[in-house]
Structure 1
Amino acid sequence: MGKEPGKQRLLGGRYRLMSPLGRDGAGIMWRAHDLRLRRDVSIKEVQPPFRGGGADLGHARRRALREARSAGRLSHPAVISVHDLLEDRGRLWIVMEMLEALTLRETVGHLGHLPVRWTAWIGFQLLAGLRHAHEAGVLHRDINPGNILLTGERVVLTDFGIAALNGDPGVSTTVPINCSAAYVAPERLRGMPASPAADLWSFGASLYFAVEGSAPYPESGALSALERAAAGEPAPPVRAGTLRPVLEGLLRRDPAERVTADQAARLLSQVLRTEGMVVGPSRLPVTRLPPGPFTM
């Protein structure tokens, strides 16, 4: 990092890097402290991909701007809050709220699979944030269990790095290589543009993973993207119980036959009431947690 031993790096004269939190496909996440507002934040150090033997700084800049602008125009408890975007010594840094959380993927990895009531609660909260994004014209395009954070009180959708504005003709229809085909809607694998319905398919595939303990299609190795696009319906869920109609409605291959966000919200509300949980209007976050913690 180019800093003196024992001395923490200061970004933009304001954010002091403290320790790395982890790495995703686009960069390194850091714990940092905002000296101006005296609060801890998380900061993504956007790392450029290497193309033709060199770093593609233009691609990294476009991705960082897209992520910051897409998430920055949203304000919802189920969407990560972006505070700032800065460039320091030739690198881009995205400043976000600090969350002590596990991803849905990590949580299922610890527990094997989640009970129906937890999965329905996660889905109900996450769907509220996704509907908010769609109403603001933002398509996420990369919903998967690794981009869903669980804090014990909130369910938060993060990583808007390949998000796009709905209807933007300049957005590529190509599925990025780092997207898992298991969570990409069939029509996108066939080259069709992203849409709210495609986000809903990915949302349904993530809920399937939560309650079943595995993705609706193999996550790696067994199927290429083209084979996945031509594959039949996913295996019927066996642990989903009252969630089964929700999953089957969201995972329909034809986007015209897929349930809408409003329909999915009503179905999830019914599941939660059947499970004995009190829920508010479908556009508001649930305020009562399900019985028992689901973070480790």
Structure 2
Amino acid sequence: MGIMWRAHDLRLRRDVAVKEIQPPFRADGADLEEARRRALREARSAGRLSHPAVISVHDLLEENGRLWIVMELLEALTLEETVGHLGHLPIHWTAWIGFQLLSGLRHAHGAGVLHRDINPGNILLTGDRVVLSDFGIAALGGDPAMSTTVPIGCAPAYVAPERLRGGRADPATDLWSFGASLYFAVEGRPPYPGSDTLTVLGRAMSGEPDPPVKAGPLRRVLEGLLRRDPAERLSAGRAARMLSEILRLEGVTVAPPSLPGQRFPPGAFTR
């Protein structure tokens, strides 16, 4: 979907990440209009949010038919990469990651933004932050882009069952994907394993996820988030309370993160 560049903002004197949007190719060439819509959607969705658990977007540029999104630069591994290195994460790590990420997700939902593609590859882990990135298929409330179609790039193991059946995206579908990502973190595998996409799709459409075996007290949270009926799924508030209680029992004290003020680098307004 894009190429990431490390860059330096000369005006504000800070390093940034620049994402060059790659247009999809059709039979008659590159679809620049679709690339423009996707870039605008990503910039508008993430740009209206201000939370330490959500990637910060600074600007959207277009030059000579090429589209660029300027965002904060993070030195991070994805959750997918981290689990790939370690096999699976301990319960208290997973609960802490979930608690921080859920705070950002609740902020996004409160601002009318649905992510629609939460998966371990879009969750960034820095030294002290958990950050949700890649709002490329996000949708704003009331946006006609909120169709029932699941984009090709989505990993089926992390898409809510009702979405796979043609249902519309809503906060409950994001929560299912969030739960599936936590399942992957603590179990070391997706809730619907399979060697190919068709096998995963078949299991996701008709069956329940395999019961978690390494989750311990997280099992109730995972099973509540991965309920096939969205009306019975855990709410974000209830999931946050359960995660905070697990962390308390594990000896980890957490508080809801506060919204950061805008910080400019030293010397930003001097020559």
TM-score, normalising length: structure 2: 0.92
Match of 1:111 among 56, 78, 86: 86
- Give me the whole-angstrom Cα distance separating, in 2, the residues matched to 1:225 and 1:94: 33
The aligned residue for residue 111 of structure 2 is: 136
| C-alpha separation in 1, matches of 2:99 and 2:201 | 31
| Residues 181, 219 of structure 1: 8 Å contact kept | no
1:271-282 aligned within 5 A: 271-281=246-256
Q: Which has the higher contact order (CA 8 A, sep 6+)?
A: 2
The Cα offsets for residues 212-237 of structure 1, whole Å up to 9 and x where unpaired, read as 00000126515357524432110000
Change (3 A) 1:283 1:235: farther
Partner of 1:193: 168
User: CA offsets, 1:41-94, max 9 Å, x none?
Assistant: 001000001111411101100000000000000000000000010012210000
Paired residue for 1:60?
35
Per-residue CA distance 1:116-153 (angstroms, 9 max, x = gap): 00000000000000000000000000000000000020
1:5-84 to structure 2, matched below 5 A, reads 26-84=1-59
Residues 98-123 of structure 1: CA deviation (Å, up to 9, x unaligned): 10000000000110000000000000
Contact 1:166/1:195 (8 A) holds in 2: no
Retained in 2: the 8 A contact 1:116–1:211?
yes
* 1:140 partner letter: H
What is the alpha-carbon distance in structure 1 between the residues aligned to residue 253 and residue 81 of structure 2? 27
* Aligned-residue offset at 1:194: 0.2
Distance 1:219 1:161 in 2: 26
The residue number in structure 1 matching 2:268 is none
- TM (norm. structure 1) is 0.85
Farther-moved stretch of structure 1 (96-105 vs 51-60): 51-60
Partner of 1:256, secondary structure, is: helix
Query: Mind listing any 5+ residue stretches in structure 2 that lack a counterpart?
Result: 261-271
- C-alpha distance in 1 between matches for 2:89 and 2:145: 39
SS of 2:241's partner is: helix
Q: Check 1:224–1:64 CA distance in 2 against 1; reply closer, same or farther (3 A cut).
A: farther
Please tell me whether the aligned partners of residues 4 and 18 of structure 2 are also in contact (alpha carbons under 8 angstroms): yes
Which structure 2 residues correspond to residues 162-181 of structure 1 after superposition, within 5 A? 162-181=137-156
Looking at structure 1, the residues matched to 165 and 105 of structure 2 have their Cα atoms a distance apart, in angstroms, of 23
CA distance in 2: counterparts of 1:164 and 1:93, whole angstroms: 19
- The equivalent residue for 2:207 is 232
Kindly indicate whether the alpha-carbon contact (under 8 Å) linking 1:128 and 1:283 is maintained by their aligned counterparts in 2: no
- The residue number in structure 2 matching 1:150 is 125
Q: Which has the higher helix share?
A: 2
Contact 1:187–1:229 (Cα < 8 Å) also in 2: no
Q: 2:228 is paired with a residue of what secondary structure?
A: coil
Query: Closer, same or farther in 2 for the Cα pair 1:242/1:71, shift >3 Å?
Result: same
Match of 1:200, as an amino acid?
A: L
C-alpha RMSD of matched pairs (Å): 1.6
- Distance, in Å, in 2 between the alignment partners of 1:72 and 1:219 is 36
Would you say the 8 A contact 2:87–2:188 is kept in 1?
A: yes
Matched residue SS, 1:99 = coil
